[in-house]
Structure 1
Amino acid sequence: MAKTALALLGVAALAWLAVCVLLYLQQRSLVYYPQFTRSDPAETDFSLDRGDAVLRGWIVNPGRGDALLYFGGNAERVEDNRDALADWAPARTGYLPAYRGYGASDGTPGEALLLADALALYDLVRQRHPEGGIAVVGRSLGSAVAAHVAAHRDVERLALVTPFDSMVEVARGHYPWLPVRWLMRERYDTASLLPRHEGPVLVLRAGADTVVPPRHADRLVAAQPRQPMVRNFPGAGHNDIHLHPGYDEAIAGFLR
């Protein structure tokens, strides 16, 4: 019996170790879903050559003095938000870039690359709007990207939709039986970055979110020295918050 128990324990330990190795090696496939977003480069409105990849995206309300930069979620076709962006901020030119590997952009996504790309995209928008204000909206994964931009650039207003404190904490919630802190390379530590932004912040919280449970938005808010404005949508899930009454007006009012 003792030998059998030890053998079973050994098998379980090996299986656990195999899952750890698999998570470490395949974590990007669990974070990024570009395969659902591919589009034709000929249908985009602007591009940015990053040397190792060309980023592409869409523009709404061209010719305005102020700008709005939007960063989407991990499986989001950002071009589907063109009408919404135009309505949120009719006085701003809106930019919807696709992450590298997404939409019509080249390359393969990864945290360091996406964050560096986001700063380069901001700089492109700044060149196009040298005297205007730049607001940033980020949703889900894009909330971490947007917070990074706001921590390193002059962002007039920052709206975060279904944000999280860090990708590591979200993963720990989903995989409490794994040593996620040691395994995660894609960390997106929003809570440590956001205090560097001194402008107004709006957090849109989905109360029924099972992908990024709302406790992560709550922790992000609680960690800030200057409390963000919070708009709660109690019945909203991670992927349908934009369908709930008041969502568009919350962002539009904040951007005004």
Structure 2
Amino acid sequence: MPSFPRSLAVALGVGALVYVALCAALWGFQRSLIYFPQPRSAGPQVPSFGLAVPGAQLVVTHRPRPGAPALVYFGGNAEDVSASLPELETAFAGHALYLLHYRGYGGSTGQPTQDALFADAAALFDHVHVQHPNVTVVGRSLGTGVAVHLASQRPVQRLVLVTPYDSILGIASAQFPFFPVRWLLRDPFDSGRYAPAVTAPTLVLMAQHDEVIPEASTRLLHTRFAPGVATLQVANGVGHNSISQHPAYAQWLAGLR
């Protein structure tokens, strides 16, 4: 029976150890690759309030306004959502505004995880819905996964997804093809799984030159919704982070075109 040379066996053993170590590193540090908490830059003149949830105290940047319409906003993985308040005030002049600072972001306590963000989003929606029965939900980048899950569970009036993905699992699997990402990833944000249950009219807003979210992932998500629920709009000439600079951005958010 043939045997491997000792040097080859040693090399294979070292390679296996390195591979296992890299898998362990991906497992241990994966959330630092997904979440980049930001402080809240808005001054005291911008209203906010605290929302108590199990295991954390959340900060919500808030523009009060009486009446039925309200907007709930979930930002990107490195976004201070209070900085998005001016553009949202332009797009949703007639709405009360609620911008969630994820756990660990903007003064909110706790650590961000997929399940925690899903639960926190539902808690904020339920809080808002008591006073504002017509709630539009906007998610951007990472926040689109939070928004899709929420819309599959709650009576959202309208859903807007800015630079969304089908799943972080799918993107990570493509980026790390030699690793068992499906078994390692704890926060898959599988929007495609929840999209079929969404009944609210949905806008999927894709940047033509998105350098973060692959075009195929966004287009795949669009196909996951039931027929007639979602509309795909391509913002030409802009990228992932510059999409809000498109001249029609506020109109798209508001559903005017």
Q: Give the alignment's TM-score, normalised by structure 2.
A: 0.91
Are the counterparts in 2 of residues 41 and 56 from structure 1 also a CA contact under 8 Å? no
One-letter amino acid of the structure 1 residue matched with residue 128 of structure 2: V
> 2:233 maps to what in 1?
231
One-letter amino acid of the structure 1 residue matched with residue 238 of structure 2: A
Residue 117 of structure 1: SS of its match in structure 2? helix
Deviations 1:76-114 (A, max 9, x none): 000001111111111111111111111121111111111
> 2:218 maps to what in 1?
217
Unpaired runs of 5+ in structure 1? none
1:65-144 equivalence runs, <5 A = 65-129=68-132, 132-144=133-145
Separation in 1 of the partners of 2:56 and 2:47?
A: 15
| Residue 124 of structure 1: how far off its partner (Å) | 0.5
Q: Alignment identity in percent?
A: 40
Asked if 1:251 corresponds to 2:250, the answer is: no
Separation in 2 of the partners of 1:174 and 1:181?
A: 12
| Residue 61 of structure 1: how far off its partner (Å) | 5.2
Asked if 1:45 corresponds to 2:48, the answer is: yes
Residue correspondences, number = 252
Cα 1:236/1:11, change in 2 over 3 Å? farther
Residue 226 of structure 1: SS of its match in structure 2? coil
Separation in 2 of the partners of 1:250 and 1:166?
A: 23
> 1:177 maps to what in 2?
178
Residue 255 of structure 2: SS of its match in structure 1? helix
Which residue of 62, 66, 76 corresponds with 1:63? Answer: 66
Are the counterparts in 2 of residues 139 and 163 from structure 1 also a CA contact under 8 Å? yes
| Residue 231 of structure 1: how far off its partner (Å) | 1.0
Are the counterparts in 2 of residues 41 and 105 from structure 1 also a CA contact under 8 Å? no
Cα 1:10/1:55, change in 2 over 3 Å? same
1:131-170 equivalence runs, <5 A = 132-170=133-171
Separation in 1 of the partners of 2:166 and 2:221?
A: 5
Are the counterparts in 1 of residues 88 and 250 from structure 2 also a CA contact under 8 Å? no
Asked if 1:5 corresponds to 2:8, the answer is: yes
Unpaired runs of 5+ in structure 2? none
| Residue 73 of structure 1: how far off its partner (Å) | 0.6
| Residue 65 of structure 1: how far off its partner (Å) | 2.5
Are the counterparts in 2 of residues 195 and 226 from structure 1 also a CA contact under 8 Å? no
Q: Counting strand residues as a fraction of each chain, which structure ranks higher?
A: 2
Residue 236 of structure 1: SS of its match in structure 2? strand
Cα 1:109/1:2, change in 2 over 3 Å? same
Deviations 1:169-218 (A, max 9, x none): 01112111211011111011101111111121000112322321111111
| Residue 5 of structure 1: how far off its partner (Å) | 3.4
Q: Give the alignment's TM-score, normalised by structure 1.
A: 0.91
Residue 207 of structure 1: SS of its match in structure 2? strand
